[in-house]
Structure formats: structure tokens, C-alpha cells
Amino acid sequence: MTPDAAVEPVLAEPLPQDEVSSEFVVLVDTYGGSSAYVRSLRRATSPPGPAGILTTPPYDLYLARPAHNLWRLRVYLRPYAARLVALMLAALAATGAGVAVPLVVERVVDGPVAARDPMGLVLLGGFVLAFGLIEAALIFIRRWTQAASALGLESTIRDEIYRHVQRLQMSFHDRWRSGQLLSHVTSDLSVIRRFLSFGLVFLVVNALTFIAVVALLIRLHWPLGVLVAVSHIPLFLFSFRFSRAYMAASRRVQDEQGDLATTIEESTQGLRTVKAFGRQGLMTDRFGRQARQLHNSAIGKGRLLALSSARFDLVPNLTLAVVLVAGAATVATDGMTLGQLVAFVTLQWMLIWPVESLGWIIANAQEAMTAADRIYEVLDTRPSIIDRPTAVAVANDQVQGRLRFEAVAFTYPGTDTPVLRRIDLDVRPGETLAIVGATGSGKTTLISLLPRFYEATGGAITIDGREIRDIQLNSLRGLMGVTFEDPTLFSMSVRENLTLGRRETTDDEIYEALRVAQAEFVYELPWALDTRIGEQGLSLSGGQRQRLALARAIIGRPKILVLDDPLSSVDVHTEALVEDALARVLHGTTALLVVHRPSTVALADRVALLADGEITAVGTHSELLATVPAYRDLLSGWSGDSEAAHHAQ
């Protein structure tokens, strides 16, 4: 399902313009929150949008409940609550020590300096030094505690996202692009860590510093103090406007970072295809376009920040200049002492950083809010394929292996057309059933329902009469060995790829599985089973990868085998050898076998013909050949050139 396809039903319904921002949030939720959908919605509607439908880019509407998801992250702060309180106290005490210095300076200037008393000067100088040292020690404690808590928090959330994504159903992964997920667990989390470790602390400390300093200024000389306070009001008003614009800009940049990560990942994975078709230029252009887009968005965001920083910088400095002139005049007319003026100016100096940093803190907070939104788009997706409370664990040796599909139907989430309709199949224990059908007829989808990668939307699938939904998911998947059309290997050793963490697997079992799959070549690799194979097994040939994946599926002799075209990349000679050995394995195993060539059909006891999502015939290979013209046509289409064409797809 493409993102644009997902947007169609939304566009069919006019949205009242006055509800646009809340509708936008609903749209995000409805489509799993993937930013890809948000952008395709944007592309599809702007400009020109059909009348009455969103015509403004949704990024500009990114306003509803901005801090809600950031606030929800507080649960992760709980384990660090004591440290955070200590951290805040240290930060406030450090600020208190800092604020005390100008007050001591006032005493120094009006006392020992005015009276030319050297001893008093030394004593007060000692106080200033002591306050300075205390402030430095407290700052050290704060920074140290801050870093430890924030890093701990970041790794807790990262673990949670990773675990959650592992539990989510395939349909989630169909929708979400891996680059977006990658950027969630890297850049989004760093943004949140930066906010929680610096932004939040400075927000609280700076706000309290501002209030304390303004109160002291008013106490020192109220007319000038009030002038300073009032001069900051426009800045606070401006900060609200800035924060709205900055939030939309930062969400756009974060999404585009995810898109770029996806492009890099896809082009690295598909490097062979890109090179084979000589499409490096195309991919470079695509990357360049996205990188430029990200660059422009980031520059736009930077410009917003620069503009706001300039204003936040200008106002305190202008006010300082006014205070210096007005203060000097007041001292001249004995309205205040010289010590008071020095203390006033020093205190006011202390306001520059809190005000100046306000723009940066707001920016940081906005980025953290949008990052939290993106993180909750993943965390809020509930796993839909889960154990029923009554589900039981079933061991391999308790299972006979009778498989039944009873009126099974399936429609992919987010689509309207059923891919499978009224599927009735009965596979006896130990029997091998081949699923045969034209490309796109639903074969892979059909076998994906058995390990519950997707949930059947109608009917029931049973193993030995027990519905698969009544078997605990781990135990269900433990009953079966599965291979996919595209064999996935990980950048681990051959042994780890074969056992995938199952400690009980013995070397003999591994040898046996490798022998059946005709994958003994691994013993000739430099470190045999301990040889680390490159990312996705790219250091191996397609046929070698496929044979390893087959060996992985049959290791430990599962009761049920689900094999999706297990020999498509294997040469004819090896295919015959694998088939011979596989025939012996299949003898005692119930198997569903998707096949694409006549020779593999011979492995099956019976064949089910799938056409447009429906089983149109079931029987032995020779029965179907004799009685079903569509089967004959399909098989004859597979031989010769057309077969080669099929595999080249």
C-alpha cells in the first residue's frame, strides 16, 4: 500500500476548515502516524486542493496539544526523580550564589571602597571568592548528575522502542519505512535527551533567576526595576509566536532526516541493482534532491532561530544602555548610591543569559515536543497480533500436524479488496501441499497467515483442530520452520544465522540441516560455521543464501514447514540434490510449499491451485494436469523463457 493510496479515503471526505488542526491529528492517528502519510497528504492537497478539503500544508497545522506527548515521557523520569530534584536544587543554589555576588559588591563599593578600608575590602573580597567557588562546585554537581540521568533515560526509551517494534505486526512494518524508525531511535532521542538534560533545567532555573533578579532590581530601585521588567514583555509575546513557527519547522526537518536515512539505507541495500542498471546517477539525484530539501528546511529553521536570538539579544542590551544612562543620572542626584548602581547593573547583566537563551530553550523544547510526538507515533501503535488470555503453549512433540483452513479470508489492513476469499484446505499430518498460482494470486499471503504474520480477517486456521489464535504466539512459531522468497541473513556468524539464538541446537543437527539443504559449502569458508557473513549475507551468492535459509528452517525438525519458493535461486543440478534430500525431510513433516517451477511441484503430495485469491482446484499433480486446463497453462507458462522471465522479476 503506498502512502498516497492511504490518503485516498481521507480526501474523499471534506473537512470543515475550522476543524482543520484537530482533524489533522486524527488523520495522523488514523494512518499509524507515519510522517510519510502526512507528507503525501500534503502533496496531495496543496496546491490545489479539492474544495472543502485541507488546502494548507499540514506542517503548518502542527499545533494541537503540542506538549502532550513530551509530558507523557515523565514516566521515564521517575527512576531519576531523586537525582533530578538534587540537580534542580544544585542549579538553584548555584544561581543563588551567583545572585549573591552583586549584593556583596554593593556592600563593597558603598562600605570599604567608600571608606577606604583595606581590611573590610579583603573580608568582602573573600566572601565574593567563596560564593564563586560554591557556584562552581554546584555547577559541577549539576552537570555530572544531569549527564548520567539523561543518558540513562535515553537508553531506557531506546530499549523500549526497539522491544515494541519487535512486537508489532507486519502491517506496521509495511507502513513504516525503516529509515524513519532509525531516525526515531537516534536523532529524536538525542533531541529529547538534550532537552531533559539542559533545556528543561535551564527553563526552570532561568525563569526563577529572572523572577528573583527582577524582584531584587525593584527592591534596589523600583522605577528602574519596573522599566527592566516591562521591557521584557514584548519578548515573551514574541516567544509564543516563535514557538509555533519553530515547532512546524522542526517536525519538517525531523521527518526529512528520516526520509534521507531511508534513501541511504535503500540505496545501500539495493546497491547491486542500482549498479547493474547503471542508475547511480538517478539515485544520486534522488539523494541530492532530498538532501537539498533537508538543507533548505534546516536553513529555514536556523533562520527562525537566528531572528529570534537577535531580538532576544537586543532587548536586554538596549535596556542595559538605558539603565546605565538613567542610573548615572540618578546617582548624580543622590537617588541611589554608587554601590547600588554597580549592584543593579551587575544584576541586570545576570538577566542577559536567561533572556538570550530563551529562544534557544524554546527551540529545544519545540524540537523535543515534535520528537516526543514521533516517538509516541511508534509507541502508541498497539500490537494487534497478540496472545489471547486463554492461549496455551504447545510443544513440538504434542503436535500431529493436521492443518485446516476453514473459509479463510484476508484483506490487507488499509485496503478494501480481499486478497484471499473462502480458502478451504485440509492438509494431513506429514503431507506436503504445494500452493501454485500466477504471480500476485495470493500464495505468499496465504502462507503468511499460518505463523500469524497477518491475522485472517475471516474464517479460521487450525492445527490438530485447535485454532492457531488459541496457541501462544511464540509456541506457534516454534512449531514451524519458515523460509521466505527473499532469504534474510544477518551480519553474524553462519552458526548464529542458523540457530538464531536457539542454544539447544547441536552441531550434529546443524550438519544434518546443512546436508539436506546442500549447504555444506559453509565448512569450506575460512572459519567454517564461525565465519561471519557480511551484512544481509551479501558475501554469499543468492543460491547459497537460499540454501542457508532452508537449512535454518529445517533445523530441529519442526512439525510444520512453510516454505516460500525455497529453491528459486538454486541451479538445476543443486535443485535436484536439495529436492532429493528435502523429500526425505518432508516425509514426516506437514508442509505448505509455494512453488514456481514444475520440478519442485514433484515434492508435493497434492497441489492447490490459487487463482485471484481463491482455491480453484486441489489434487495430485497428475490429476490437475489431466483435468484442470488452467493448471496446465500455468505450468507450461513456467517452462522455457517464461520461467526465466518469472525469476528475473
Ligand X SMILES: Nc1ncnc2c1ncn2[C@@H]1O[C@H](COP(=O)(O)OP(=O)(O)OP(=O)(O)O)[C@@H](O)[C@H]1O
Binding site for ligand X (CB under 6 A): 1, 174, 412, 415, 419, 437, 439-445, 485
CA angle 349, 350, 355 (to 5 degrees): 95
Pairing of strands 590-594, 560-564: parallel
Q: Are 249 and 62 in contact (CB under 8 A)?
A: no
User: What are the contacts of 187-191 at 24+ separation with CB within 8 A?
Assistant: 187/254, 187/257, 187/371, 188/254, 188/371, 188/374, 188/375, 189/154, 189/157, 189/158, 189/371, 189/375, 190/154, 191/254, 191/364, 191/367, 191/368, 191/371
Q: Output 485 or 509, the one with its CB closest to ligand X.
A: 485
In terms of CB distance, is 443 or 606 closer to ligand X? 443
64 or 611, CB closer to ligand X?
611
Contacts of 165 by beta carbon, 8 Å cutoff, 6+ apart: 172, 181, 378
Residues 197 and 150 sit within 8 Å (Cβ to Cβ): yes
- How do strand 403-410 and strand 420-427 relate by DSSP bridges? antiparallel
**Is the CB of 327 or the CB of 442 nearer to ligand X?**
442
Cβ neighbours of residue 89 closer than 8 Å, sequence gap 6 or more: none
Q: How far is the CB of 599 from ligand X (least distance, A)?
A: 17
User: Shortest Cβ distance from residue 418 to ligand X (Å)?
Assistant: 10
Cis-peptide into 48, omega within 30 deg: yes
Quote the least distance from Cβ 512 to ligand X, whole Å: 29
Cell of 620: 495430485
Do 23 and 15 meet the contact criterion of CB atoms below 8 Å apart?
A: yes
The rounded distance, in Å, linking the Cα atoms of 212 and 379 is: 40
- Residue 630 Cβ, how far from ligand X at the closest point, in Å? 15
Tell me the closest approach of the beta carbon of residue 170 to ligand X, in angstroms.
7
φ, ψ for residue 563, nearest 5 deg: -120, 120
Q: Give the shortest CB-440-to-ligand X separation in angstroms.
A: 4
Report the run of H or E that residue 467 belongs to, with start and end.
Answer: strand 466-467
CB 565, min distance to ligand X, A: 7
Cell numbers linked to 102: 552583586
Q: From the CB of 443, what's the least distance to ligand X, in Å?
A: 4
Q: Please, which residue, 437 or 481, has the CB nearer to ligand X? A: 437
Say which amino acid occupies 287: F
d(CA 242, CA 251) in angstroms, rounded, equals: 14
Instruction: For residue 264, give the nearest of 179, 188, 173 by alpha carbon.
Output: 179
Is the separation of the CB atoms in 315 and 355 below 8 Å? yes
Number of residues assigned to the chain: 649
* Minimum distance from residue 447 beta carbon to ligand X (Å): 8
| Dist CA 188 CA 185 (whole Å) | 6
Cell (9 digits) for 418: 480481499
Q: State the Cα torsion 305-308-312-317 to the nearest 10°.
A: 100
**Which residue, 30 or 472, is less far from ligand X as judged by CB?**
30
Of the pair 174, 455, the CB lying nearest ligand X is at 174
Other Cβ atoms within 10 Å of 513 Cβ, number: 24
Nearer to ligand X, 238 or 412 (CB): 412
Contact 442, 564 (CB under 8 A): no
Cell representation of residue 471: 496457541
| C-alpha to C-alpha distance for 247 and 69, rounded to whole angstroms | 14
Residue 1 Cβ, how far from ligand X at the closest point, in Å?
Answer: 5
CB of 74 to ligand X, least distance (A): 36
Pair 418, 410: CB distance under 8 Å:
yes
Specify the residue, 107 or 422, whose C-beta has the smaller distance to ligand X.
422
First to last CA, the chain: 19
C-beta closer to ligand X: residue 419 or 473: 419
> Would you say 110 or 174 has its CB closer to ligand X?
174
Q: Residue 82 is placed in which grid cell?
A: 531523586
At its nearest, how many Å lie between ligand X and the CB of residue 619?
20
Q: Nearest approach, Cβ of 603 to ligand X (angstroms)?
A: 17
Rounded CA-CA distance 185/194 in Å is: 14
By beta-carbon proximity to ligand X, the closer residue of 313 and 485 is: 485
Nearer to ligand X, 93 or 618 (CB): 618
The least CB distance from residue 578 to ligand X, in Å, is 20
Nearer to ligand X, 309 or 444 (CB): 444
